Amino acid sequence: MASSRPDPAPPRVAGIGVATGLGYGQAALLDGMWNPRPLGGVLQRPGRQLEGRATPFLGVELAEPPALLPPRVARITSLGGRVAVAVLDEAWRDAGLDALAPERIGLVVGGSNLNPREQGLAREAYAGRMAYLLPSHGYTAFDTDLCGLCTSTFPIRGMSCTLGGASASGLLAVLQAADAVRSGRVDACIALGALQDLSSFELQALANLGALSPSSRCRPFDQAHDGFLFAEACAALVICRADLGLKHYGHILGSAWHSNGQRGPDPSPEGELRLIRSALASAGLDPAQIDYVNTHGTGTPKGDDTEAAALAQAGLGQAPINAGKSLIGHGLSAAGTVETAMTLLQMQAGRLHPCQHLENPVQPDLHWVRGAPLNHQPTHALKLSFGFGGMEGALVLGR
């Protein structure tokens, strides 16, 4: 019988589903990690370009997701919702969740303000005839519709919620899901890093902020870094009790979740160092025991410089370091979940992907993985995520 008692063993990751510009599924992601290829180009979705702008917005867009929903449901489901169902389906089957009671399965959706592009398109489509706006828009406009969609499509009858943490949302969803399992509220909890569907309005604001790269390449930690490359992405991780006998990608050994006291995009050197030290203390590990770091690594000068300095000051100079955004761009809300999946898959494979476009590192003394994949079997990995508004998260994973 399912137990509601806290489990003293660290929660484990038992299933992974993922979608990036490399394709849908783990196989596409693995191939792209070992054989990197350029993904960036002119954004093509309606609502992504500004008429009259001198240069088009660049980024990475997904292929159309598999048609898993009934047509009547798909018609009132956003792009992000259809993608979420696809990655959740992969994670569900990977973990074998049909073996668990639905009441013991939970869901945490990482992300907020997820559909501004589709909201803008709807306003344009119904301008002057608002009386004909679809009634379903009254609930599909909210981020919580992803909870309703996923729990009505899959037998998830435990707790469910959404969680907003800007670009840290995906990793914070993993932390919240792990807490739900650790506390005994559920036996398994799915952390879904949701696709963030930006419109030209948000893209222009980010460009004005100086956050967007004007090129189609993301260059984390290179001295020529000039901003991040927006990317559509989504991932689902199944976090479960260690005693369930499900598949095993790795243990969640420790974590940290802090605010650095900043309102906008500026990073905090003191905050990031405190976060790293708190996460290691939570896992009961010394810096020397961390043998792989998966960074936040956006390609923004101030963000990269601050993160690299924090890693060096924390005593992590010996650990191989890479940045997933150099391969797939910045998935915003989904980034932390996608990159946690990438971390676990690399640990399982005993191989680390190179940090693309890294020619002149901002901290040359750190152990950057670059040029080609590195054969390496990490025992303990550190994953970092940072979000606008001072939201910071760190995760320590054990093989």
DSSP 8-state secondary structure symbol assigned to residue 228? B
Q: What is the mean pLDDT of each run of 10 residues along the chain (399 residues)?
A: 66 98 98 96 98 96 97 97 98 98 98 96 94 92 97 98 98 98 97 98 97 95 97 98 94 97 93 98 98 98 97 97 98 98 98 97 97 97 97 97
The two domains 12-219+228-244 and 250-398 share their CATH topology (first three levels equal) = yes
pLDDT for the residue numbered 8: 75
In the CATH scheme, what architecture does the domain 250-398 have?
A: 3-Layer(aba) Sandwich (3.40)
C-alpha gyration radius of the chain = 20
**Considering only CA atoms, which of 164, 139, 138 is closest in space to residue 152?**
139
The domains of the chain are located at 12-219+228-244, 250-398
CATH homologous superfamily for the domain 12-219+228-244: Thiolase/Chalcone synthase (3.40.47.10)
305 CA to centre of own chain:
21
Residue 15: both structure tokens together? 């299933």
Evaluate the CA torsion angle 160, 93, 329, 272 in order and state its sign.
positive
Evaluate the CA torsion angle 302, 307, 312, 318 in order and state its sign.
negative
Whole-number Å distance between alpha carbons of 173 and 109? 6
Bridge partners of residue 392, in order along the sequence: 258, 386
